[in-house]
Chain A
Amino acid sequence: MNESRANDLNGAPALSVRGATKRFGAVLALDSLDLDVRHGEVVAILGDNGAGKSTLIKCISGVHRFDVGEILIDGQPATINSPAAARGYGIETVYQDLALFDNLGPSANFFAGREDAGPRWLPRPVRVLRRRSMLDSTVDVLERLQVSLPDRSAAVGLMSGGQRQVIAVARAAAFASKVVILDEPTAALGLRESRRVLDLILRLRAEGHAVIVISHALDHVTEVADRAVVMRRGRKVGEEIPSPDSQQRIVALIVGTSAGAAASPP
């Protein structure tokens, strides 16, 4: 599936960022940055606090706009000026706070703001919810992603941190046709729960999604990412194929040149 999809699109990356620059007052948050993410590829974005990772994904997901630079989706220029526009291009983002509704069940969470309801001739707010069909498609997505939940109708607030994270990721996956962005998906999770989220990321990749992961957990990155892009002071300072061997070099890139020289002399 992954292969065929890439061929259909003549190998154009699912998402390309070209010459992205973003300034907040005197702070240069992004400095002519380029990034490509292909279908069926997991790219990790690494960097210390303040490196510009969050600004980058906020621009891609429509919260901010680049001052200079452009975004291409499947090789076509895209105008992303709001979160809704980003969603329209098939980009879904899972923020660190997950943005879940603890008082609602998984299905209501999946469809929040895009409820399936009818009849069509009524104005949207007074349409009747198609609860059955929403539950069915939620169960379908969860099964496709091999996510098991103890109770599919229980409020999300009753679930563990890992289950909540999985639901947030699955929600993004369900509606993203092209790109899924994950901000620190394993930050608050235990070992076993991280495991489930990482497995889920691999399944997204297998389904042909382009996945961007921001993470500080290097071993998690090593496990799931095809490429690791390291940012420092708004610029891309390096790229590595993550493996246990390259971890030292990645750390050096994150921390800075002098440490890099010390760790891996030329």
Chain B
Amino acid sequence: MTNLASVVPTDASIATPPEPRDLSDERQQRRFRLLRLALGVIRLGPILMLAGLVVAMALLSPVFLTTGNANNVLAQTAAIAVLAIGQLMVILTRGIDLSVGSTLALASVVGAIVYSHGGSGFVVIVVMLATGAAVGLVNGGVYVWGRLPHPFIITLATLSIARGLALQLSGGQPKRGVPSIVKTIGNSSFHWVPYSAILVAGIGLLFAGMLARMVWGRWMYATGGNPEAARRTGIPVRSVLISVYVLCGLLAGVAAIITSGRLNAGSPTAGNLAELDSIAAVIIGGASFLGGRGNVANALVGALMIGVIRNGMNLLNVGAFLQPIVIGVVIVLAVESDVLRGRLEERFRVMQAALS
């Protein structure tokens, strides 16, 4: 039982052991630095991929880098980008929200109906946001208070319910006409920058600040990183989770404003499959599906990348059927780079233990 360590007197153990760092050989150190560099590159992955894409498109199509086309891309991407910010917070806390596309449609239809009954622009906007937040509250509430193991099922249910409600309320037809303020947000530009893009930038800054600088944002990361530890350290995990779905629904309401303005109608079919676009944007943006990792800027880059791919392939006259294939491949690349990052980090850990 007695081994060397136990015979060492207590006093000697207080003295720091000799640093093995000096003894580790040059090659080990170099590999360590290389590994750190590779991790850095992967972390910058989404931005690099977008930059590469933009350069490639600019070389392939003379129209791509015109202000007119930039306007187009930004306007088309705005709704997905807003949804992606909401989806990011949900995914950060290890969740998923499948209902955002349907919520968008419901908020859009409800807004148009309120407008047709004489609601002012302000009232219509408030109603759209409230509709989105209400669906989010149902998602978060049932998930947390209903003690569901995962939000997949409840948001699948609200995906169905919200879409059905939107179709029911509108009779299956788009309801023409939205307030002029909504039309301006969705369909006008300041010089060549769409107002919707400016709105997205503002919302992005707001949520980036909240996630990075505010206590509540820190709690979202903590809840996603280790829910059990978060509970033990006194973080109100249940409130954090509910808030995440409410905010995600609220942002679906914002996306409904942008989309309704663009269509000049409340459409029950708007935002079809937008939930998948928003998830794709978040994942392409390098967020971890296992929670706790990702940021707003990268999610916006992911959304922009989807927009650029769609736009670029249109410009290049590539068949419409090829677009989803390319986007699928990009998703696989993004997820694989996340896996690779995990592997490299594992090695990083081992090496660090050896070096320190």
In the complex, what's the smallest C-beta–C-beta distance from B36 to chain A, in angstroms? 9
Establish whether residues B226 and A101, one from each chain, have CB atoms under 8 Å apart when the complex forms: yes
A118-167, CB < 8 A from B: 124-129, 131, 146, 148, 150, 157-163
Establish whether residues A101 and B225, one from each chain, have CB atoms under 8 Å apart when the complex forms: yes
Looking at the complex, which one of B1, B219, B221 makes contact with A218 (CB distance below 8 Å)? B1
Is residue B317 contacting chain A, with contact meaning CB distance below 8 A? no
A150 to B5, CA, bound (A): 26
Establish whether residues A160 and B10, one from each chain, have CB atoms under 8 Å apart when the complex forms: no
A74-106, CB < 8 A from B: 83-84, 97, 99-104
Chain A residues with Cβ below 8 Å from B349 are 157-160
A84 to B236, CA, bound (A): 13
Establish whether residues A102 and B214, one from each chain, have CB atoms under 8 Å apart when the complex forms: no
Is residue A255 contacting chain B, with contact meaning CB distance below 8 A? no
By CB atoms of chain A within 10 A, which of B5, B16, B215, B349 has the most?
B215
Is residue A237 contacting chain B, with contact meaning CB distance below 8 A? no
Chain A residues with Cβ below 8 Å from B325 are none
Convert B192-217 into 0s and 1s, putting 1 for each residue whose CB lies closer than 8 angstroms to a CB of A.
00000000000000000000011110
Establish whether residues B234 and A146, one from each chain, have CB atoms under 8 Å apart when the complex forms: no
In the complex, what's the smallest C-beta–C-beta distance from B18 to chain A, in angstroms? 11
Given A103-B224, A126-B214, A222-B6, the answer on whether A158 and B16 have CB atoms closer than 8 Å is no
Looking at the complex, which one of A84, A101, A224, A247 makes contact with B229 (CB distance below 8 Å)? A101
Chain A residues with Cβ below 8 Å from B3 are 219
In the complex, what's the smallest C-beta–C-beta distance from B41 to chain A, in angstroms? 16
Establish whether residues B13 and A160, one from each chain, have CB atoms under 8 Å apart when the complex forms: no
Establish whether residues B215 and A99, one from each chain, have CB atoms under 8 Å apart when the complex forms: no
Chain B residues with Cβ below 8 Å from A125 are 214-216, 219
Is residue B238 contacting chain A, with contact meaning CB distance below 8 A? no
Is residue B7 contacting chain A, with contact meaning CB distance below 8 A? yes
Chief secondary structure at chain A's binding surface? helix
B1-51, CB < 8 A from A: 1-3, 5-8, 10, 13-14, 16-17, 20
Establish whether residues A113 and B235, one from each chain, have CB atoms under 8 Å apart when the complex forms: yes
A186 to B235, CA, bound (A): 28
Establish whether residues A113 and B214, one from each chain, have CB atoms under 8 Å apart when the complex forms: no
Looking at the complex, which one of B2, B233, B292 makes contact with A102 (CB distance below 8 Å)? B292
Convert A222-252 into 0s and 1s, putting 1 for each residue whose CB lies closer than 8 angstroms to a CB of B.
1110000000000000000000100110010
Establish whether residues B215 and A161, one from each chain, have CB atoms under 8 Å apart when the complex forms: no
Establish whether residues B214 and A223, one from each chain, have CB atoms under 8 Å apart when the complex forms: no
CB-nearest residue of chain A to B236: A125
Establish whether residues A112 and B215, one from each chain, have CB atoms under 8 Å apart when the complex forms: no
Given A127-B215, A128-B214, A247-B1, the answer on whether A99 and B345 have CB atoms closer than 8 Å is no
A80 to B14, CA, bound (A): 34
Is residue A5 contacting chain B, with contact meaning CB distance below 8 A? no
Is residue A117 contacting chain B, with contact meaning CB distance below 8 A? yes
Given A199-B13, A202-B13, the answer on whether A99 and B353 have CB atoms closer than 8 Å is no
In the complex, what's the smallest C-beta–C-beta distance from B209 to chain A, in angstroms? 9
Chain A residues with Cβ below 8 Å from B348 are 158
Is residue B135 contacting chain A, with contact meaning CB distance below 8 A? no
In the complex, what's the smallest C-beta–C-beta distance from A63 to chain B, in angstroms? 9
Chain B residues with Cβ below 8 Å from A97 are 228
Is residue B230 contacting chain A, with contact meaning CB distance below 8 A? yes
B301-356, CB < 8 A from A: 345, 348-350, 352-353, 355-356
Chain A residues with Cβ below 8 Å from B292 are 101-104
Interface residue stretch chosen among A13-21, A177-185, A190-198 = A190-198
Is residue A220 contacting chain B, with contact meaning CB distance below 8 A? yes
Establish whether residues A158 and B352, one from each chain, have CB atoms under 8 Å apart when the complex forms: yes
Is residue A115 contacting chain B, with contact meaning CB distance below 8 A? yes
Instruction: A115-B218, A244-B2 given; name 19 further pairs at CB < 8 Å.
Output: A99-B232, A101-B225, A102-B225, A108-B218, A126-B214, A127-B214, A128-B213, A129-B214, A129-B215, A129-B218, A157-B349, A158-B349, A159-B349, A160-B350, A160-B352, A163-B352, A198-B13, A222-B6, A223-B5
Binding site for B on A (CB under 8 A): 83-84, 97, 99-104, 108, 112-115, 117, 124-129, 131, 146, 148, 150, 157-163, 190-193, 195, 198-199, 202-203, 218-220, 222-224, 244, 247-248, 251
- 4 closest A-B pairs by CB: A160-B353, A113-B233, A103-B292, A219-B6
Binding site for A on B (CB under 8 A): 1-3, 5-8, 10, 13-14, 16-17, 20, 213-216, 218-219, 221-222, 224-226, 228-230, 232-235, 291-293, 345, 348-350, 352-353, 355-356
22 residue pairs from A and B, CB less than 8 Å apart: A84-B234, A99-B228, A99-B232, A101-B221, A101-B222, A103-B291, A103-B292, A104-B225, A112-B222, A112-B229, A112-B233, A114-B233, A125-B214, A125-B216, A127-B215, A129-B218, A190-B353, A193-B353, A199-B13, A219-B5, A223-B6, A247-B2
